[in-house]
Structure 1
Amino acid sequence: MLTQGLSLAAFVLLCLTACSQDRGATLSAPDAYARAEAGNLTLIDVRHADEWRQTGVAKGALHIDMTGTQGEAGFVREVTRSVGGNLRTPIGLLSLAGNRAANARDALRAAGFTEVYVIPEGMQGNGNGPGWIERGLPIEPCPDC
C-alpha cells in the first residue's frame, strides 16, 4: 500500500513538473533589440503584411509571415533559408502580442532549431511588458510589404 502511495505521489509530482515547465526562452523587447544590434540574434517579425504596413517593423527584423508562407512548413523553410540552414542560429520571434511568436517557436523547435526566443510582449504590449512600440525601440516603415 505504501509503495502504491509513493508511486502515485511520484506520478503527480512528475505531471506537475512537466506541466509547469517553461515552453521556451523569452527575451524582453530591449534585450532582443540589443542582441540583434550586436549581431547575436536574428530577429524575425511573424506578423501579417497589413500589420507591418500599419505599425512598421522592428529595425533589422526579417519579415516572415507565419501564415503567409504556405503554413508552418513554408514558414520553417523560409526561416531555414534566411539563416543559411544553420539550425543553431539564435532567433528572436516578434508578433503583435506574443501568441504567434510562440506558435512559430514551436514550429521551429520541431524542425530542429535549438536557440529560439519569444518576445512575449510583442509589438503592441500586454501583461508581459509595454511592447516594442511603447518602449520607443526603432521601427522601420514597410510601405511595400
Structure 2
Amino acid sequence: MLRCLFLSFLLLITTPLAAEPSIISAPDAFSASSAGEMILVDIRSPAEWVETGVAEGAIALTMHDPAFPKQISALLNANKDQPVALICATGGRTQYVVSFLAKNGFPDVIDVSEGMFGNARGPGWIARGLPLIAAKEAQAAYRSLLK
C-alpha cells in the first residue's frame, strides 16, 4: 500500500502540467487588432452583439451556432501566421473555448480574459471606453477573412 502511494506521488510530481493559456488585456487586444497584428473574435451570442455592439476590430462568430467548431477551425487554419484572440462577456466562455481548442490542436489561441464587461482580471472592454462597432459590420468581417 505504501509503495502504491509512493508511486502515485512520484507520477504526480513528474507529470508535466498543461501549459496555461495565453491571456491578454482588453487594451492590448485592441492595440494588436487595430495594428493588424492579431485577429480578435467575439464569440458571444448575436443578441449580445446587438445589445452592446462588438469590440472594434473584432469579427463576430458566435459559439452558440452549431457550425461554430467548423467556422473557428476554418478561421484558424486560414490564418496560421497570425495570432487569434477570443472575447466574450466576462471571460468564462473564452476560457472554456480556448482550453477546448488547445486540446484539439490549436494551442496558441489567446483569451481576452476580462471580456466585454469585466471581472476580477480587469474592468472589461466597455468600462475601459474602448470603441465598439455594429454587429453586422463584425459579422461581415468574418466572411472577408476566409476569402
Identity %: 32
In the alignment, structure 1 residue 33 sits paired with structure 2 residue 30: yes
Residues 121, 84 of structure 1: alpha-carbon distance in 2 compared, 3 angstrom cutoff: same
From 63, 73, 78, the equivalent of 1:80 is 73
Greater displacement, 110-119 / 92-101: 110-119
Give structure 2 stretches of 5+ with no counterpart: 140-147
For 1:107, the aligned partner's letter is F
- What runs of 5+ residues in structure 1 fail to find an aligned partner? none
Q: TM-score, normalised by structure 1?
A: 0.79
1:92-107 matches, within 5 Å, as 92-107=85-100
Q: CA deviation at 1:76?
A: 2.7
Superposition RMSD on alpha carbons, in Å? Answer: 2.7
2:82 aligned to which of 79, 89, 92: 89
| Matching residue within 43, 46, 55 for 1:46 | 43
Provide the residue aligned with 1:110 in structure 2: 103
User: Are the equivalent residues in 2 in contact too, given 1:87–1:113 (CA < 8 A)?
Assistant: no
TM score, norm. by length of structure 2: 0.78
Aligned residue pairs: how many? Answer: 138
Q: Given the alignment of the two structures, is residue 140 of structure 1 paired with residue 140 of structure 2, yes or no?
A: no
For the 8 Å contact 1:29–1:119, the answer to whether it is kept is yes
- How far residue 79 of structure 1 moved from its aligned partner, in angstroms, is 2.1
1:125 paired residue number: 118
Is 2:57 the partner of 1:60? yes
